[in-house]
A and B are shown apart, each in its own frame.
Chain A
């Protein structure tokens, strides 16, 4: 439409369209080609893959179905599940306290905040990009097989994520309010506690809620690696071929994750 207004004629439009088609064709060719090349390089068989999906789901619905005996073990699974939820919440909450403390020093009213911000960003990137596997194994080696190991692994990971998220929110939201309050002659600490933190807090809480959801999912992985919580329960049932128990464990995880997703969506609506 724009080109017509600019006085371009029909032929120009035609060439433009042809160029667009050309570009689309090549993009498709490159993407498709690299897909095939990658699956060849990785020895991924597309035919086996496609057939495995219906097979796996039918296997899932046949073997993961709980029966009467399964229910006897349910209290045991539920207690582990509650412990895991506790881990997810506490690690996210404690990480949030640390993150808020660190990010407060990056508010534009603090002395040397630009330098501090750079350091905090570096710490966040470091914590976040080190794989959870490395943290888990390192902690397992020294803190041994108990819930504390799981807590610390989740804590370090959450701290990395929350630091980055909080820092971004702080950058976007705080400069205007800080400037406005500085004009009134308020001191740095007052601006931080009465102006900046209340402004960013709803978004911080929203991120904490998201971190809890995510920690439940990650707790499964950490549990499998370090032998703690619900991940360990699943892994031991799965490897000893007690599929009905493994199935009920997965069902519990699904219920908890979906429930948490909905609860935090509701809470966000109230807070934000």
Chain B
């Protein structure tokens, strides 16, 4: 969610004034950007004009919203009994996100190899790419709902839905990193008669290890957020479900505050772990 698996090329204003051609391109780029921003602004205006605002008074709703925010963040409350249940469901959600990341990493890598144009022929990569684009285009929550028809609402559907989306996401991210390797290094493996999977294991994996690790941890963070979401929207259990119950049925925003704090702390810990591991890995590989 936070970082997309495609290369965001860095752009800086080049000061090579000796090449008038480049100057022209730069102006062209800035104009294109203005056009894009203008179109987006127009669409935003259009959407605001046609938006269904309901009959709620904005000022009243905003003040009520702020009061509820205050209940949530400044006066979080919870009973001891519930806290026990909450910590269990937090662990469930965390476990769910780790499990689906494992599955996503394993199958995502296989898909990445199958869709890397510098490893395989374009005929095969096109198939793998289209399958992954299709899976990625359907939101996670819809996959969970579809799987829940066959295996019932619950942990099985949640694992399958989250894993499927992770596989497609990581597949794209990994295959982009594999393609960034170029063909030269892989050609030399081929020339010395190394087999396909040996090339992948000995040539590809060691070269893209830092990228593999950092994408996997980014996906872990996303999976945690998604696991909370599907717990609420698909009734898959876990802390998301508790959050849904206490906000949609009990209207107890003090309790919602506690749950949100629990989720917030976990998410921040996950982020810190990810940053540390990424840092360590980049250090050891550079040495």
A residues in contact (CB < 8 Å) with B: 31, 34-35, 38-39, 41-45, 48-49, 52-53, 55-56, 59-60, 83, 86-87, 89-90, 93-94, 125-126, 128-134, 137-148, 151, 161, 164-165, 172-173, 177, 198-199, 201-203, 205-210, 214, 217-218, 220-221, 224-225, 234, 238, 250, 253-254, 257-258, 261, 265, 267-268, 270-272
- Indicate if the CB atoms of B263 and A224 lie closer than 8 Å: no
Interface centre among B41, B137, B244 (most CB of A within 10 A): B137
**Between-chain CB contacts (< 8 Å), 30 pairs:** A41-B95, A42-B155, A44-B99, A44-B156, A45-B156, A52-B151, A52-B157, A53-B160, A56-B147, A83-B52, A90-B43, A131-B229, A131-B263, A132-B225, A137-B256, A138-B65, A138-B247, A141-B68, A142-B65, A147-B51, A198-B13, A199-B12, A202-B29, A203-B11, A205-B33, A209-B36, A210-B4, A220-B141, A250-B138, A254-B134
Report the interface size class on chain B: 35 or more
Please pick, from B12, B36, B138, B225, the residue contacting A271 in the complex, using a CB distance under 8 A. Answer: B36
Residues of chain B with a CB closer than 8 A to A83's CB: 47, 50-52
Query: Does B46 have its Cβ within 8 Å of any Cβ on chain A?
Result: yes
Please pick, from B29, B37, B44, B53, the residue contacting A94 in the complex, using a CB distance under 8 A. Answer: B44
- Indicate if the CB atoms of B141 and A224 lie closer than 8 Å: yes
- Indicate if the CB atoms of B139 and A86 lie closer than 8 Å: no
**Complex alpha-carbon distance, A59 and B233, angstroms:** 22
Q: How far is the CB of A160 from chain B (nearest CB, A)?
A: 9
- Indicate if the CB atoms of B141 and A130 lie closer than 8 Å: no
B residues in contact (CB < 8 Å) with A: 1-2, 4, 6, 8-13, 29-30, 32-33, 36-37, 40-41, 43-44, 46-48, 50-54, 56, 61-62, 64-65, 68-69, 72, 92, 95-96, 98-99, 102, 133-134, 136-139, 141-142, 145-147, 149-151, 155-157, 159-160, 225, 228-229, 232-233, 240, 243-244, 247-248, 251, 253, 256, 259-260, 263-264, 267-268, 271
Contacts A133-B244, A234-B142 known; 14 new A-B pairs at CB < 8 A: A35-B102, A38-B99, A44-B159, A48-B156, A55-B150, A83-B52, A90-B47, A90-B48, A142-B68, A151-B51, A173-B10, A199-B13, A208-B40, A218-B139
- State the main secondary structure of chain B at its contact with A: helix
Taking A89-B40, A202-B29, A270-B32 as contacts, is the C-beta distance between A146 and B54 under 8 angstroms?
yes
Residues of chain B with a CB closer than 8 A to A126's CB: 264
- Indicate if the CB atoms of A221 and B247 lie closer than 8 Å: no
Residues of chain A with a CB closer than 8 A to B64's CB: 141-142
- Indicate if the CB atoms of A42 and B95 lie closer than 8 Å: yes
Taking A35-B99, A56-B150, A143-B61 as contacts, is the C-beta distance between A272 and B141 under 8 angstroms?
no
Please pick, from B32, B150, B243, the residue contacting A134 in the complex, using a CB distance under 8 A. Answer: B243
**Complex alpha-carbon distance, A218 and B165, angstroms:** 14
Residues of chain B with a CB closer than 8 A to A225's CB: 232-233, 244
Q: How far is the CB of A251 from chain B (nearest CB, A)?
A: 10
